[in-house]
Amino acid sequence: MNDAAGLTLAAILALTARFQAGVDAMKAGDPARAAAEMSAVLKANPGLPELAAGARLLRGQALKAQSKSREALEDFRWLATRDVAPDVRKKAREEFAAAGGKPASLVPELPPLAEWKRMQESIREGEGRRAWDWMTAKLRKELQSLGEMMGDVDPDNIALWFAEDEAVMTGQAIDEEAGTAQLTFRENGQTIHVRWVQDGTRWKIDRLRHEMPNEDGDIPQIILTDVAAMDGDEWGDDRPPGARKRGAADPDEAAKANNLAPALKAEIEASVAKLGDSDAAARTKARARLKEIGPTARPLLKKYLNDPDPEIATTVRELLAPP
């Protein structure tokens, strides 16, 4: 059995046991052993953010208890300037100050807007690839996936749209305590939310939310790199009319079809067209792809229930039939 981080259950239990051993050692007045146990957890690189953050915090405390202030400060600084849980970040800042660190050194040198402008300048100078330095690893991975889907994996090209000059900033919110910030831009009826997180002593772009009015101009299409944030709750209330909030009723089927990301909508339509192909293999492949896309494709498929091509209409009815 594997978890999302690719670890077996046995490995997770072993790491948890080492973490608990470190906690127990700290309580027993043995900071050296506590630091060793936490170092072992971190060395394993578990891919479990909460466990890793807790291990680093406890290791810093254990190092401080051994009067190893320099090493302790590094652990506290790391936590205080990364996108970790707010309570962990707050505790790390407190420990950093208590260990003799200067709190002012934890604040990024430049605010998010200044970092944004520097990134735009680099892109306009033809250094599109440098824009990746202003993004977290997660966002770079998401943009790479988007580029592959769109048939363009060149970082220079993917980054070009960041250089737009016509977008007008309409909002800026910075929470240095939480280590997050948000810039909001408007351009030609579109809204772009850019979420930043502290990474070391820099602000880096972590998520993007792009809202565009659909053909009717009401319910927006939403294109973003973090699907989990699609409800928009953590982006504040700066949404155009019609944008869904958590718990809101679904729009009607036609609106759902219009709400699909352009690339996915084009793929579904192309697959439907292939259902009428003279090549049986092409028809089979298209049917399999539509079935793989699943419920997301249903609103758009309903438009083809009465398609003039009987092969397409029949297959669509079969795909929409209850299992």
> What is the per-residue pLDDT across 75-125, written as a single tens digit (0 to 9) for each?
998 888 877 787 888 899 899 999 999 887 787 878 888 888 888 787 777
- Asked if residue 75 belongs to a domain, the reply is yes
Q: Does 78 lie in the same domain as 33?
A: yes
Count other Cβ atoms within 10 Å, centred on residue 189. 11
Q: Does 141 lie in the same domain as 89?
A: no
Judging by DSSP bridges, how do beta strands 180-187 and 220-224 pair with one another? unpaired
- Asked if residue 174 belongs to a domain, the reply is yes
Domain that holds residue 192: 112-249
pLDDT in tens, 142-163: 777 766 665 655 655 555 555 5
pLDDT at 291: 87
Q: Does 231 lie in the same domain as 121?
A: yes
pLDDT in tens, 175-229: 877 788 888 888 777 778 888 888 877 888 888 777 766 555 554 444 444 333 3
- Asked if residue 4 belongs to a domain, the reply is no
In the chain, how many domains are there?
Answer: 3
pLDDT at 154: 60
Please name which of 298, 107, 96, 262 lies closest in space to residue 198, comparing C-alpha atoms.
107
CA distances (Å), origin 260, targets 81, 287, 297, 302:
36, 19, 9, 14
Is the pLDDT reported for residue 236 higher than 70?
no
Is the pLDDT reported for residue 250 higher than 50?
no
- The tokens describing 62, both together, are 């254990």
Q: Does 174 lie in the same domain as 130?
A: yes
pTM value? 0.50
Share of the chain above pLDDT 70, in %: 74
- What's the whole-number average pLDDT of the chain? 76
Q: Which of 12-26, 173-187, 193-207, 301-315 has the highest mean pLDDT?
A: 12-26
CATH number of residue 14's parent domain: 1.25.40
Q: Does 171 lie in the same domain as 126?
A: yes
Q: Does 167 lie in the same domain as 238?
A: yes
Q: Which amino acid is it at 323?
A: P
**Calpha distance 168→186 (Å, rounded):** 5
